[in-house]
Structures are given as structure tokens and as C-alpha cells.
Amino acid sequence: MKDVYQIAVVHGDGIGPEVCAAAVEVVKAALGPDCPLRFPEYPAGAAHFLKTGQSFPQPTFEACRAADAILHGAGGLPGVVYPDGTEAGLDFTLRLRFELDLYANIRPIKLFEGVTSPLAGVKAGDIDYVILRENSEGLYAARGAGALLRGQVAVDTLVQTRAGIERIVRKAFELARQSNGAPRDGVRRVTCCDKANVLRSYAFFRSVFDEVAKDYPDIETEHALVDAMAMHLVLKPGHFNVIVSENMFGDILSDLAAATVGGMGMAPSAEVGDMNGFFQAAHGSAPDIAGKGIANPYGTILSAAAMLDWLGRGHDDERLLRAAEQIRRVTEACLANGLLSADLKGKSSTAEITGNVCDRLAA
């Protein structure tokens, strides 16, 4: 347990500052006047790139590395790109993942009471699984390193290492062990999602998965090809408990999965390595709704709760674990009471939702 925890806060672009400020307010409300967290702010993102020519200043990187945890709103703006067409505003998230070795991207997908799923006949509690996205290698490790030849040929390479696969698969089994199993049958199950029938790299991912699985005989295992998985997540979401996949597949599936539980605004994430933890909602900067005060802050608030959990467990700090639990409880109650933003077909503004969550936490 520490007296003070430094949280490096980077607001980012679009709705980033709106949802990030909401999450900081909520964390402060949950921990009360003796809050042991400090929230120094640092610049990064597409808007900062336009202003200064730098998307991720070195001092921001150093501060993030040294902090106890990193909290982010969202980064990137369409059109703010490098000459090769890639987005400048994504540097912050991508560099942190690769340079701080944040190999596990944990994305809980849960349908809460009060939120309507676009899937027919699905109610709260029927969808409750985790997508565990390998976050430090895979296809995205090629960012900035692929070849573009004479404007005619472009190549990016998918990298998978035995050590990288082993550690993410172990994490998947550990998450399954801590869980209550799949909603449909209560079975603790890890699904390996790949494209092993086509590419050698995914067949390797699957073979390492099968080796590691032998150490967890108490957990059921299965394989699913990513294309079939896109269908399963729509047709039988209640079957899943923990899904582990390569980086890009995890990215794509998490947007599909988020849509089934109310949309991107309802999708928290925790990106953790052995040393550092980085917390932001799974959505982007949503420039179409930025500045209107209507962004859904729940995803970032739940990501902040995950941050408190991670810090609390890492530092054996009951105060933080309790605060995380309270934030989750109050969030669920607010959703169940119809405190919904426009993306959830409600009328509540970001400020109303945040204020209500804080008031309930203080009560």
C-alpha cells in the first residue's frame, strides 16, 4: 500500500477529454477527501500533433512509464495522418502498448440491466464474457515497420512468438479461473480464436494454446475460427466466458462484441503488462459527437474501476479495491435506473451521468 499513487492522465482527442474528466471525477468521489491518487495531466494525440508536430512528446512518455497507472480518454482524429496514411493520434496508445510491453488487453463484454441489446431475446446477464486481446505482437507489431515500395507494393508482417502466445494464453486461463463461467451453462471456458486453417502463424498460436491448456485441466477449452466467431458472438453470446486472440482479431471482434451490449460507449478495457497498466475505454475519439456533452462516459468510468482493481491488487490496498467495487455497483444501479446517454437511446448528458454517479458514491 502506498501513501500516494500517481495517475498519468492523458485526455487525448474528440470526446477523450469529456469521458476522461468524468472518470477522474468519479474516482475522486469514490475515494473521498482522503483520495490517495494524484492526477497530473500530460499532452498527446492528434490535436497536439497539429499544434506542435509531435503526437506523443517524450516527457509524456517518461511520465507514463514512471506513473503508477495511466488513464486515457481517446486518441486520434480522422485526416490527421502521416504521409503513409497512418493516424498520428494513435501513436500514444500504440507506443505505450509496445514500449511498455502491455501484452494483455482485457476487454469485458457485459450486458447491464437497463441497456437494450440489438440482439433479439437477450437480456441483462445473458452476455458476460471477456475478450483477451494479445496486445504486444501480432499484425499490429508491424506498425511503422512495414515496407512501401515505389508506391506499388506494401507489406506488413504478422509476428507471433512462443513466449508472447504462452503468456497471453496463461492469462486467459487465469481470468477464466477467477470468473463465474459462461452465463448459459456456468462452465469456465477459454475459447482460442484464430485462423489456424489458413495461416501458419495462427496454427502456431493454436498449437501453443493447446500445450498451455494442459496445465489447466479444470477449464474447458475450444477453438473457433475468427470468421465463425463473428457469427457466434451474435447468435450464441451466452456460450462464451474468456476468448483469447491475436492482436488484430481481438481489435475487430471487440467492436462487434461492444455493439451487442449497447455500443462502444459501454466497452471498458485494461491494458496491462508486468510493470505498467493503461486504462481507457475501447472506443475511439468519436469526433462526430465531440464537444456536444453527450458522450457516454460509462466505458471510461468502468475502465477507471479496472484501474483501481489493478492498483489495489498490485499494492495490496483494500481502499482501492473497495472503491472499484463501489463504482461498479453504482454504475450498474444508474444504468438500471435509466440514466442513459444518447447512444443508449437515453437523454442524459455526460455531465448528468457523471454527477449522478458521483452523488450516489458520496451518499
Cell numbers given for 205: 498460436
Residue span binding ligand ATP (CB under 6 A) among the ranges 24-32, 169-177, 195-203, 282-290: 282-290
DSSP string, 90-121: GHHHHHHHHHTT--EEEEEEEPPTT---SSTT
Identified catalytic residue from 91, 251, 309, 343? 251
Residue with cell 475487430: 252
| Count of residues that bind ligand ATP according to CB under 6 A | 15
Out of 202, 343, 346, 361, the only residue in the binding site for ligand ATP (CB under 6 A) is: 343
Report the DSSP pairing between strands 270-272 and 277-279.
antiparallel
Shortest distance, position 24 Cβ to ligand ATP, whole Å: 16
Angle between helices 162-178 and 200-213 (to 10 degrees): 50
Shortest distance, position 74 Cβ to ligand ATP, whole Å: 7
Other Cβ atoms within 10 Å of 33 Cβ, number: 5
Whether 185 is catalytic is no
Q: Of 344, 341, 363, 336, whose CA–CA distance to 353 is shortest?
A: 341
Shortest distance, position 49 Cβ to ligand ATP, whole Å: 15
Whether 129 is catalytic is no
**How is residue 301 annotated by DSSP?**
H
Please tell me whether residue 296 binds ligand ATP under the rule CB under 6 A: yes
Please tell me whether residue 318 binds ligand ATP under the rule CB under 6 A: no
Please tell me whether residue 335 binds ligand ATP under the rule CB under 6 A: no
Shortest distance, position 45 Cβ to ligand ATP, whole Å: 11
Question: In 79-215, which ranges are E strands?
Answer: 104-110, 128-134, 147-149, 153-155, 189-194
Residue span binding ligand ATP (CB under 6 A) among the ranges 5-13, 136-144, 147-155, 288-296: 288-296
Nearer to ligand ATP, 297 or 312 (CB): 297
Nearer to ligand ATP, 239 or 283 (CB): 283
Whether 195 is catalytic is yes
Other Cβ atoms within 10 Å of 197 Cβ, number: 11
The residues assigned a catalytic role are 140, 195, 227, 251, 255
